[in-house]
Amino acid sequence: MIHKFSCILSIFCMTFFVKSALAQDCTPDSSLTQPGTLPLALPSGEVNVDYSERITVMLFSDTMVSIQGQTVNAAIDSMVITGCLGLPDGFSFVCKDNNCTFLPLTLSCITLKGNTANGGMYPLEIPVVIYAKAFGFPLSQSDTIRSYALFISGGSNSNVELVKSHTNISPNPASKLVNIFSKHQPSLFNNMGQQIFSPVAEVKKGHYSISLDKILPGIYFIKTEEFSEKLVVE
């Protein structure tokens, strides 16, 4: 009986340890004090070098939904991340919580990590399901986060050559921030050819980001010394 109890206890402890290890894969960035995500842009990586970066998330407490043609306020219960599409070969993602559930106004995070021999620019798509209530009725809505792109420098595949010789922007359309992969600092122009002054940050050599928080929705152009590419701001 004692031996059987010891085996059960050992299995329980091993299970608890594995779950705890997975649940503590990342520690949220406490500098995020309002709903949103950090960082605004992912740092670049290099081929054949281990990469690990967290994305801290604080979920909004409510959202607007359409019910029978009327827009109403809905209280968010939770958000579940169901995947991370577009990662390089050899990369994976792990959530702070085993089931990738995020609660309103609560710090949590997701870690992207891996090692790849394939360089290039990888626009990411993170599908989510948001669970909410309106007038006491449960609702669910699918959405996709497209505000992140991962740039891996080095290698010799065609994707890398494309990054070196062209201006690449992601996401497009964009709403909060756009990533630009170019050898030269980019500038933002409206469709009348007027330069729009918005903060430009050099995340890493060849990787810039432009804040769109104060930019009105419309058609714009990202320009460098070599290229001009259309950007849709939503």
Do 102 and 178 reside in the same domain of the chain?
A: no
Place 5 in a pLDDT band, splitting at 50, 70 and 90. Answer: very low
Mean pLDDT in residue range 24-35:
86
Mean pLDDT in residue range 15-28:
53
Residue 9 lies in a domain: no
pLDDT of residue 153: 81
Structure tokens given for 212: 């769109």
Do 75 and 141 reside in the same domain of the chain?
A: yes
Q: State the Cα torsion 39-215-69-74 to the nearest 10°.
A: 30
Mean pLDDT in residue range 45-70:
89
Residue with tokens 């420098």: 153
pLDDT of residue 21: 38
Do 67 and 141 reside in the same domain of the chain?
A: yes
* Cβ 196 vs Cβ 232: under 8 Å: no
Do 199 and 170 reside in the same domain of the chain?
A: yes
pLDDT, tens digit (0-9, with 9 covering 90-100), for 144-179: 887 788 888 876 544 444 444 444 788 888 888 888
Percent of the chain at pLDDT above 70?
83
Do 79 and 181 reside in the same domain of the chain?
A: no
Query: Measured between alpha carbons, how far apart are the two ends of the chain, in Å?
Result: 66
Do 36 and 144 reside in the same domain of the chain?
A: yes
Nearest to 127 by CA among 169, 185, 80, 166: 80
Buried b / exposed e across 24-62, counting CB within 10 Å, b at 16+?
Answer: ebbebbeebeeeebbbbbbebbbbeeebebbbbbbbeee
Q: What is the CATH number of the domain that holds 135?
A: 2.60.40.10
- How would you class 194 by CB atoms within 10 Å of its CB: exposed for 0-12, middle for 13-18, buried for 19 or more? exposed
Place 48 in a pLDDT band, splitting at 50, 70 and 90. Answer: very high
Residue 13 lies in a domain: no
Domain boundary among 115, 136, 155: 155
Give the C-alpha separation, 3 to 177, whole Å. Answer: 59
CA separation, residue 43 to residues 33, 63, 89, 169, 213 (Å): 21, 30, 18, 15, 20
Do 151 and 91 reside in the same domain of the chain?
A: yes
Residue 134 lies in a domain: yes
pLDDT, tens digit (0-9, with 9 covering 90-100), for 58-93: 999 998 877 778 888 899 999 999 999 989 999 999
Do 208 and 131 reside in the same domain of the chain?
A: no
Do 80 and 124 reside in the same domain of the chain?
A: yes
Place 51 in a pLDDT band, splitting at 50, 70 and 90. Answer: very high
Domain boundary among 155, 184, 217: 155
Place 42 in a pLDDT band, splitting at 50, 70 and 90. Answer: confident
Do 146 and 173 reside in the same domain of the chain?
A: no
Do 136 and 71 reside in the same domain of the chain?
A: yes
Domain boundary among 129, 155, 181: 155
Residue 77 lies in a domain: yes
Q: How many CB atoms lie within 10 A of CB 145?
A: 17
Residue 45 lies in a domain: yes
Q: Which of 31-45, 53-67, 104-118, 192-206 has the highest mean pLDDT?
A: 104-118
Total domains in the chain come to: 2
pLDDT of residue 13: 39
Do 32 and 130 reside in the same domain of the chain?
A: yes
pLDDT of residue 166: 42
pLDDT of residue 77: 95
Residue 99 lies in a domain: yes
Helix (H) or strand (E) holding 170: strand 168-170
Domain of 173? 166-234
Residue 15 lies in a domain: no
Structure tokens given for 130: 């948001």
Mean pLDDT in residue range 215-224:
89
Residue 17 lies in a domain: no
pLDDT at 213 exceeding the cut of 60: yes
